[in-house]
Amino acid sequence: MGIEERMIKEIAEHLERCELEARETEKITDGIEISVEDAYEIQRELRRRKESKGHRIIGYKIGLTSRAKMKQMGIDTPIFGFLADYFLIPDGGEIRIEELIHPKVEPEIAFLIGEDLEGPVSSPLEVLEATEMVMPAMEIIDSRYRDFRFDLPSVIADNCSSARFVISPGISPESLDLRTVGVVFEKNGRILSTSTGASVLGNPLNAVFMLVNHLSKNSEILQRGSIVLSGGLSEAVRAERGDIFKVISPIGSVSVRFV
């Protein structure tokens, strides 16, 4: 027995209002018990709200897939969220900081899926075969919870802190060992971290593999044309107005500026 449908709708509406008004809130589990299943139900309601306003869902994100992120956030279970069209910022583009609460930036490796992937899949190699391109990416997360303080159900209901992301065209993953793809993450010309693909679950393919199987539990497929963010490779870093963040890697580079 989960929480009531009315409650699911109310929480989704509340979290969306916080997002759109750039207003923080306490975690939703303060005072009521919410299971992980309920939390994904709230997230699906949030997604329906976006779609009913005419937004398109253009992909997914996986979070808490690296040791660095698990340690930073204190949760060691990967989480899955959706990406709406208006989250996407063009490479070299600008993010209006007043639209967000307390944005942080993290370097990621993104996937462009070239063929429908229907789970359950049995091997990450199936993901590799269906991948058209791997791309340099940054995710801008903006938890709606005060000080990014949340537990597993709260962060899932909040669409896993999703807010914006930036990608640039990458390369075909054929003949590429994603574990060894190095990523340099810079802020205002100074290196914040260096990491490799292996930082995400040993290989970012494993994250997409988990996503496909997560979607299949709900009879959803990972559709051709979807973008997938495989998870922060290193710690997320607070952004202030004027900051320029950059990811440099052998699969390409990408940058974004906060204004």
Interface residues toward Mg ion, by CB under 5 A = 63, 139, 232
Q: Which amino acid is at 65?
A: T
Q: Is 160 in the site for ligand OOG (CB under 6 A)?
A: yes
| Binds ligand OOG (CB under 6 A): choice among 222, 232, 245, 247 | 232
What sign has the CA pseudo-torsion 215, 163, 236, 166?
positive
Write the interaction track for ligand OOG spanning residues 163-202; mark x where CB under 6 A is met and - where it is not: ----------------------------------------
The smaller minimum CB distance to ligand OOG, of residues 59 and 232, is found at: 232
Q: List, as one string, the DSSP characters of 153-205.
A: HHHHHTGGGEEEEEE---B--TT--GGG-EEEEEETTEEEEEEEGGGBTTSHH
**Between 133 and 233, CB nearer to Mg ion:** 233
C-alpha–C-alpha distance, residues 68 and 252, integer Å: 23
Q: Rounded to whole angstroms, how far apart are CA atoms 36 and 47? A: 16
Binding part of the chain for ligand OOG, among 25-33, 35-43, 218-226, 228-236 by CB under 6 A, reads 228-236
Radius of gyration for the alpha carbons in the chain, expressed in angstroms and rounded:
17
Binding site for ligand OOG (CB under 6 A): 61, 63-65, 69, 73, 106, 139, 141, 143, 148, 155, 160-161, 231-232, 236
